[in-house]
Amino acid sequence: MTTSPADFAARLRARERILGYWVVLDNPVGTERLAGLGYDYVCVDAQHGLLDYKGTLGAMTAIDARGTCAGMVRVPANDGFWIGQALDAGARGVIVPLVNTAEEAAAAVRACRYPPHGVRSYGPMRSGLRVGPTPAEANEQVACVVMIETAQALGNTAEICATEGLDGVYIGPSDLTIALGGRTSTDPSVAEAFDAALTTVAEAAKSAGIAAGIHCPDGVTAAKRLAQGFTFATVSSDLVHLEQAAAAHLRDARG
Amino acid sequence: MTTSPADFAARLRARERILGYWVVLDNPVGTERLAGLGYDYVCVDAQHGLLDYKGTLGAMTAIDARGTCAGMVRVPANDGFWIGQALDAGARGVIVPLVNTAEEAAAAVRACRYPPHGVRSYGPMRSGLRVGPTPAEANEQVACVVMIETAQALGNTAEICATEGLDGVYIGPSDLTIALGGRTSTDPSVAEAFDAALTTVAEAAKSAGIAAGIHCPDGVTAAKRLAQGFTFATVSSDLVHLEQAAAAHLRDARG
Amino acid sequence: MTTSPADFAARLRARERILGYWVVLDNPVGTERLAGLGYDYVCVDAQHGLLDYKGTLGAMTAIDARGTCAGMVRVPANDGFWIGQALDAGARGVIVPLVNTAEEAAAAVRACRYPPHGVRSYGPMRSGLRVGPTPAEANEQVACVVMIETAQALGNTAEICATEGLDGVYIGPSDLTIALGGRTSTDPSVAEAFDAALTTVAEAAKSAGIAAGIHCPDGVTAAKRLAQGFTFATVSSDLVHLEQAAAAHLRDARG
Amino acid sequence: MTTSPADFAARLRARERILGYWVVLDNPVGTERLAGLGYDYVCVDAQHGLLDYKGTLGAMTAIDARGTCAGMVRVPANDGFWIGQALDAGARGVIVPLVNTAEEAAAAVRACRYPPHGVRSYGPMRSGLRVGPTPAEANEQVACVVMIETAQALGNTAEICATEGLDGVYIGPSDLTIALGGRTSTDPSVAEAFDAALTTVAEAAKSAGIAAGIHCPDGVTAAKRLAQGFTFATVSSDLVHLEQAAAAHLRDARG
Amino acid sequence: MTTSPADFAARLRARERILGYWVVLDNPVGTERLAGLGYDYVCVDAQHGLLDYKGTLGAMTAIDARGTCAGMVRVPANDGFWIGQALDAGARGVIVPLVNTAEEAAAAVRACRYPPHGVRSYGPMRSGLRVGPTPAEANEQVACVVMIETAQALGNTAEICATEGLDGVYIGPSDLTIALGGRTSTDPSVAEAFDAALTTVAEAAKSAGIAAGIHCPDGVTAAKRLAQGFTFATVSSDLVHLEQAAAAHLRDARG
Amino acid sequence: MTTSPADFAARLRARERILGYWVVLDNPVGTERLAGLGYDYVCVDAQHGLLDYKGTLGAMTAIDARGTCAGMVRVPANDGFWIGQALDAGARGVIVPLVNTAEEAAAAVRACRYPPHGVRSYGPMRSGLRVGPTPAEANEQVACVVMIETAQALGNTAEICATEGLDGVYIGPSDLTIALGGRTSTDPSVAEAFDAALTTVAEAAKSAGIAAGIHCPDGVTAAKRLAQGFTFATVSSDLVHLEQAAAAHLRDARG
């Protein structure tokens, strides 16, 4: 496939099937390796992850050094400064957590766009090399995705999906599970409600013509979610996989 | 098993079977997780790895925060400052690269010991909390391991193993493979010579009554090496495993 | 005494007498030493202090490496992201500055709790190892303390203390002194009003059955505050004590 | 001229002609050099720039090491925590971005002042050495400047300038150009509206008796703006000038 | 021109005319911009510069993110660890300071090559993605350049240039000027001896068939040196140019 | 007293009585405070301390921001790169550890001086602003002090002190105590030998006309050492004093 990171937002909007990887470690050399494996995007987590802004800059640079993968950032909060900073760093898309209403989704969109479509402030310190270069082009090339992960958001799914300028919605399964009454972040006792919520979100996104994404614990689940109607899926995450791998090797070593 | 990190050097000297994990990432939160999995030690690589001294300090602290695993450092070079700094950080043992002769091995040992047994300078900025506290006790509780990974060292194996005060030798398979004429770091065309070298080192260590260790690409190989007569084996490494895991999940996601 | 850091929130809620130390320096090795002296908690200051998130993570890890002391964080502001991030790092309690009303106190509490009791987002990157592990257990094991340090807050003390789920209130003497009209942060001319404010807060906390804490310049004052009815007191701080010690040694050196 | 950095706010308020330089790089050694060239102030950009808080602290320290120049910070957002943190670091003034209304300007002013004039929290971790020392003196010695860079702000210029306690307004030409419909951040097609906006702001500031500042791409423009009625002008920036210089030398090298 | 960074060593060996830029700042975003201007290489200075190893890694990644420029490192000293670390980071060449004799030059060469041509240790943590991948290929693709900058080295120029495997020599004009008796690093009173030294080195390199490089204060000098027979020239440096630019703009601003 | 940091080396050479403080923490804000207390110098410890090169640069800048105190660095080892780097950072003197012979002392001196008096390489990245500016002046303004802390050095005291160009010797009491057979770094059982060693060193320095310095645990000891004939004394250290202060306040708090 001959896609380019510059096409990322367009592919997302076109509801192409897209796969990503999730990074919580401040680990630019590792992120550079991950970015060359064939994932369409790598998303660094600035909310729960272990990267500060220098880490985000380093990760975006590392991803660009491979040249074949788009960098995304899950921003700390639905806040203009955090969103603008991630985009200045060269992210080709943001995932905005904890969006509960259409108004909040609209604020996230505005934070991603320069006037007249939004309120983003101009200072593309690193992205100026790669995204745009004009404000209108940058507006076009950046994807704005909001998370649906609370009970309130679930009730507002259709309205959120209908937000003008929004490019996609994204399910955070851990928070959603807890929001649905789960006792752990993967509680199977709420599986039915969880599956129904996934259907609700995927269908609302389809109706609105925007992308529907979801966080997945592994590749098998990602494949399943794409088959269920999600258009993009992230495999999570470096920290978890590292711990799993090290535990598996210890079992092997002990025979 | 009720072992304590404080017993690490003693267990190594007693030629107990010991398993470790290899860390090249500056990733204290991940290292803390790895240190709780059941490995006897975690060794951070300050030669080829991506940690500076703050990273080494952070890794040693993270390992100690789990309380069940010993921290080791593969130091940048056979140099008194680098060795002393790793020990000041709280390492319970060092792996010294590129040792070619018994004289060099003796220098590594001296760098690990306070007078009268060596030339280590006193300033246990972090280790003072944990190792020792007296110089004599610290000398006893710190393991000095040197690497055999060059053609010259291989020829000097017996002399190196006989170095007074040395606690163990450690094979670096990549460098050794290249030293034996391999075209890559895992070249199977030198497998016979490689296996012979392993036998040479393991037997020399046994004769000298010191530990014999080796770096392994995976847990299965580690088990095999312990069965072959090595007394400690490190499974390597976080960066490699991360890349392998992410690639495997991508294959799964693509179905 | 055989208390454990895991009991910290329970002890605080039980209004046990608790002593802490205040850290503004990004100094993990020093913090590890401080955490072993016998203080019940060490609180790192992410509002006025000199630590960024990596510093907070390092401090929490260093505290846990001693195993006997609870880590707290004074967060930058009453904001869900900052509070969640501190808890993800493994803090066993947060001190939230500049809370003026019961509504603001309730928001602080919600930021500390997962649903259904709050809005904390799930991603306990480091705390998952230690606090919980279930959301309900994590809710139980984390202490939420809000600061009373403005004129407005002082007027709302009773309402703030009555906030459901709040574990304690904490006086910031410098800000409170200035709020009371002091010309410096320790202005004795407002001592009477200051003492009255302390009584107000300590009694309101007692009536509400929550903990009452206060920042103290030294150990003698901490003892006095505990005798006056406060249930926890922090001795402040590493930076101030360092300057005092160095000045004292200079006087000694000059004879 | 025998001015001192301590006089900075007073000079700004007196509408003296003042020149500054803009720093986006985390480069304390370079900033120390820049601070000795004769500029009245160096402003580090914590909104679009590449410095985190440690970078801001390092820059303020580097500026003070030259002793002749005032340090300013363009804060990330109009938020009490960000403003207070910049002032704690020793900034002698802040430039607050994206202020749209007089209410927002008043909030920025309050964030800069201790009670009773504002809500700044006390903890002058670094500034305590240099600014003040009493809260009243610190209030006096710190300049609060807000940016006018949106269409909404332009419409509210007079009201913003009339904000009690405000020391100056500052034009962000890039954002203003885009707000006026420019297709790039320097679009000449909106030059007329841009010039009119400059006149509006400079005159409103003059009427209100506060300083009027503006960001300039080069020294020639800075001279022109001061001649047009602006009282302070910043030459921008290290990153841009570095790229320009390197490009110019390459042209020279190629002949 | 359709050259690739992968051809860098080959072009240097072929004595092509090559231009570079010198970076002393830990400034990855700026370095990324510089790397896209058309210079053939950017060399980061780990001897006198302000970058630690993380800075070097970040600079190499930033250079690779542009895709058109080769990264070099001037290493701290002629030491196997420093040289290997720079190459592990992905440098396509090293400049080794303070080489005085042919023996020292041979040691620098050995440190750059894996066995059997040298003693480099295998662990291409970042360079494994880009340089090689086999040891033999990596040996081929990495340039080893040593500095001639002392009186002793000048006397040994021919012998140094004849070192087997050496790819180039490089003049450090500041140290050379002082070595020749200059009272400053650019003392014109030793211009004649300086020019003679340049001729000596350029001709010796030509005779030996290796590259001859030199550090230059500006582009005009670089052009002159290439015309004089040097095959590569570096324009120096970001820190100096930044100070010059800021001073020039201040003069302009003052009219 | 109207001394200036620029006079530091001259005062040391004149055997004036000088007092310093020892810093092992990477804590620029604290170091800035310490530098204003009245100590003649602050020495940061790059051997056993917790600062990397950025920390050393930050400490030197912080010291210079107070303007009244000289910055020194105890370098990691007697190595040209480490010594040059400390001086490039702006140190006005270095303390070189583990010097055993006059030859080693002479090497330390040469590393501190530009040709023709030494082999220091030119690149005073930060010191160029403050020390010198010519090489000859920089040679004059920088103090070279070597440590006597081993049995071998003690035996060579007279020869070391006679090293041409050496400015002072410095006793490391911990290492010296262990070298004399002490079981701890302060073992009183070797007090007699220790006192004799002090006399030996102080008298040898006096005979040679160079400064004699010593590390002291506290101000009282510093006063005593100056009275005994030492010309400079360092009070040690921030980390120790911080722990002592926190412990004392805890005792006070517990009543």
DSSP per position, D192-247 = HHHHHHHHHHHHHHHHHT-EEEEEESSHHHHHHHHHTT-SEEEE--HHHHHHHHHH
The overall average pLDDT reported for chain C is: 97
| Strand-pair partners of B96 | B146
Mutation target vs D (from C47, C81, C183, C240; most D CBs, 10 A cutoff): C47
pLDDT at A142 over 90: yes
pLDDT at C113 over 50: yes
pLDDT at F1 over 60: no
Do you know the residue count of chain A? 255
Query: CB-CB: which of C29, C36, C64 is closest to B65?
Result: C64
pLDDT class of C127 with cuts at 50, 70, 90? very high
pLDDT at E121 over 60: yes
Chain B to chain E, count of Cβ pairs less than 8 Å apart?
57
What are the Cα distances from residue B15, in Å, to B4, B212, F92?
A: 16, 8, 51
pLDDT at A143 over 80: yes
The overall average pLDDT reported for chain B is: 97
Tokens at F38, concatenated = 């009245």
Is A245's Cβ below 8 Å from some Cβ in B?
Answer: yes
Chains F and D touch (3+ CB pairs under 8 A): yes
Interchain contact, A115 vs D45, CB within 8 Å: no
Which pTM does this prediction carry?
Answer: 0.98
How close F187 gets to chain E, by Cα (Å)? 38
Closest CA to F25 of D223, C243, E165, E4: C243
Taking the C-alpha atoms of residue D20 and residue C9, their distance in angstroms, rounded to an integer, is 50
Is A249's Cβ below 8 Å from some Cβ in B?
Answer: yes
What pLDDT is attached to residue B236? Answer: 87
pLDDT class of F175 with cuts at 50, 70, 90? very high
What pLDDT is attached to residue B1? Answer: 47
Mutation target vs A (from D43, D47, D150; most A CBs, 10 A cutoff): D47
The 10s digit of each residue's pLDDT in E67-85 is 999 999 999 999 999 999 9
Tokens at A178, concatenated = 């807890």
* Residue % of chain F over a pLDDT of 70: 99
In the numeric block, the tokens 């590493």 are attached to: C238
Residues in chain E within 8 Å Cβ distance of B183? 134-136
Tokens at B248, concatenated = 């495997």
Looking at residue A68, what DSSP letter applies? S
Residues in chain E within 8 Å Cβ distance of D51? none
Residues in chain A within 8 Å Cβ distance of E129? 32-33, 36
Is F149's Cβ below 8 Å from some Cβ in E?
Answer: no
What pLDDT is attached to residue E255? Answer: 84
What pLDDT is attached to residue A41? Answer: 98
Q: Which residues of chain D have pLDDT under 50?
A: 1
Taking the C-alpha atoms of residue E103 and residue E80, their distance in angstroms, rounded to an integer, is 14
Residues in chain F within 8 Å Cβ distance of E49? 123, 125
pLDDT at B31 over 80: yes
Interchain contact, F123 vs E48, CB within 8 Å: yes
Closest CA to B71 of B130, B158, B128, B17: B130
Closest CA to E156 of E199, E200, E195: E200
Chains F and B touch (3+ CB pairs under 8 A): yes
Interchain contact, E150 vs F116, CB within 8 Å: no
Mutation target vs D (from A81, A88, A127, A131; most D CBs, 10 A cutoff): A81
Is C108's Cβ below 8 Å from some Cβ in D?
Answer: no
pLDDT at B204 over 70: yes
Taking the C-alpha atoms of residue B90 and residue B112, their distance in angstroms, rounded to an integer, is 12
Phi, psi values for residue B215, rounded to 5°: -80, 135
In the numeric block, the tokens 């971790």 are attached to: D125
What are the Cα distances from residue A183, in Å, to B69, C53, C115, C122, C137?
A: 31, 29, 10, 12, 10
Active site residue D48: yes
In the numeric block, the tokens 């992210």 are attached to: A91
Mean per-residue pLDDT, E170-179: 98
Taking the C-alpha atoms of residue E101 and residue C20, their distance in angstroms, rounded to an integer, is 61
Is the Cβ–Cβ distance between B245 and A227 less than 8 Å?
Answer: no
pLDDT at E1 over 50: no
In order, the DSSP letters of E124-190 are: -TTGGGTS-SSHHHHHHH-EEEEEE-SHHHHHTHHHHHT-TT--EEEE-HHHHHHHTT-SSTT-GGG
Mean per-residue pLDDT, E228-237: 96
Taking the C-alpha atoms of residue B46 and residue B75, their distance in angstroms, rounded to an integer, is 5
Query: CB-CB: which of A48, A52, A151 is closest to C123?
Result: A48
pLDDT class of A1 with cuts at 50, 70, 90? very low
Chains D and B touch (3+ CB pairs under 8 A): no
Tokens at E94, concatenated = 């090293």
Taking the C-alpha atoms of residue D7 and residue D180, their distance in angstroms, rounded to an integer, is 36
Taking the C-alpha atoms of residue F39 and residue C247, their distance in angstroms, rounded to an integer, is 9
Taking the C-alpha atoms of residue C210 and residue C12, their distance in angstroms, rounded to an integer, is 8
Residues in chain F within 8 Å Cβ distance of E50? 54, 57, 125
Tokens at A151, concatenated = 């009970």
Is A52's Cβ below 8 Å from some Cβ in B?
Answer: no
Query: CB-CB: which of D79, D122, D133 is closest to C174?
Result: D122
pLDDT class of C1 with cuts at 50, 70, 90? very low
Interchain contact, D80 vs C98, CB within 8 Å: yes
Mutation target vs F (from C23, C27, C63; most F CBs, 10 A cutoff): C27
Helices and strands, counts by H and E, chain D: 12, 8
- Annotated catalytic residue, options A48, A215, A241, A249: A48
Interchain contact, F50 vs B133, CB within 8 Å: no
Residues in chain F within 8 Å Cβ distance of B125? 24, 48-50, 239
Mean per-residue pLDDT, B215-223: 98
Mean per-residue pLDDT, E50-60: 97
Interface partners of A (3+ CB pairs, < 8 Å)?
Answer: B, C, D, E
The 10s digit of each residue's pLDDT in C216-239 is 999 999 999 999 999 999 998 999
How close B104 gets to chain C, by Cα (Å)? 32
Nearest CA in chain D to A84: D48
State the CB neighbour count (10 A cutoff) for residue C54: 22
pLDDT at E194 over 60: yes
What pLDDT is attached to residue C255? Answer: 84
In the numeric block, the tokens 């990855």 are attached to: E28
The 10s digit of each residue's pLDDT in D85-106 is 999 999 999 999 999 999 999 9
Is the Cβ–Cβ distance between C141 and C13 less than 8 Å?
Answer: no
Taking the C-alpha atoms of residue E174 and residue E178, their distance in angstroms, rounded to an integer, is 6
In the numeric block, the tokens 């041409």 are attached to: F164
Give the F window 152-171 contacts with C, CB below 8 Å.
Answer: none
Closest CA to D191 of D174, D177, D205, D179: D177
What is the Cα F61 distance to its own chain's centre? 18
Longest dimension (CA), chain F: 64
In order, the DSSP letters of chain E are: ----GGGHHHHHHTT--EEEEEE-S--HHHHHHHTTSS-SEEEEESSSSS--HHHHHHHHHHHHHHSSSEEEEE-SSS-HHHHHHHHHTT-SEEEE----SHHHHHHHHHHHS-TTS--PPS--TTGGGTS-SSHHHHHHH-EEEEEE-SHHHHHTHHHHHT-TT--EEEE-HHHHHHHTT-SSTT-GGGHHHHHHHHHHHHHHHHHHT-EEEEEESSHHHHHHHHHTT-SEEEE--HHHHHHHHHHHHHHHHH-
Closest CA to E219 of E234, E231, E240, E199: E234
Taking the C-alpha atoms of residue F122 and residue F124, their distance in angstroms, rounded to an integer, is 6
Interchain contact, C29 vs B58, CB within 8 Å: no
Closest CA to A56 of A30, A28, A98: A28
- Name all domains of chain E by residue range, CATH numbers in brackets: 5-142+214-254 (3.20.20.60)
Is B56's Cβ below 8 Å from some Cβ in F?
Answer: no
Is F105's Cβ below 8 Å from some Cβ in C?
Answer: no
Chains D and C touch (3+ CB pairs under 8 A): yes
Phi, psi values for residue F29, rounded to 5°: -65, -40
What pLDDT is attached to residue D236? Answer: 87
Tokens at E15, concatenated = 């004595």
In chain F the first and final C-alpha atoms are separated, in Å, by 42
Phi, psi values for residue F108, rounded to 5°: -65, -45
Nearest CA in chain C to D137: C183
Q: Tabulate helix, strand, coil % of chain D (nearest 5).
A: 50, 15, 35
Is the Cβ–Cβ distance between A94 and D90 less than 8 Å?
Answer: no
Angle at CA of residue F189, ends F185 and F192, nearest 5°: 100
The overall average pLDDT reported for chain F is: 97
| Strand-pair partners of A144 | A94
**CB < 8 Å & 24+ apart, contacts of F71-75:** F71/F5, F71/F35, F71/F41, F71/F42, F71/F43, F71/F44, F72/F20, F72/F41, F72/F42, F72/F43, F72/F44, F72/F143, F73/F43, F73/F44, F73/F46, F74/F43, F74/F44, F74/F45, F74/F46, F74/F47, F74/F49, F75/F46, F75/F47
pLDDT class of B185 with cuts at 50, 70, 90? very high
Q: Tabulate helix, strand, coil % of chain F (nearest 5).
A: 50, 15, 35
Please give the torsion angle defined by the CA atoms of residues B61, E50, E107 and B106, in that order, rounded to the nearest 10 degrees: -30
In order, the DSSP letters of D70-129 are: EEEEE-SSS-HHHHHHHHHTT-SEEEE----SHHHHHHHHHHHS-TTS--PPS--TTGGG
The overall average pLDDT reported for chain A is: 97
Looking at residue F156, what DSSP letter applies? T
Interface partners of B (3+ CB pairs, < 8 Å)?
Answer: A, C, E, F
Closest CA to D44 of D64, D65, D73: D73
Do you know the residue count of chain E? 255
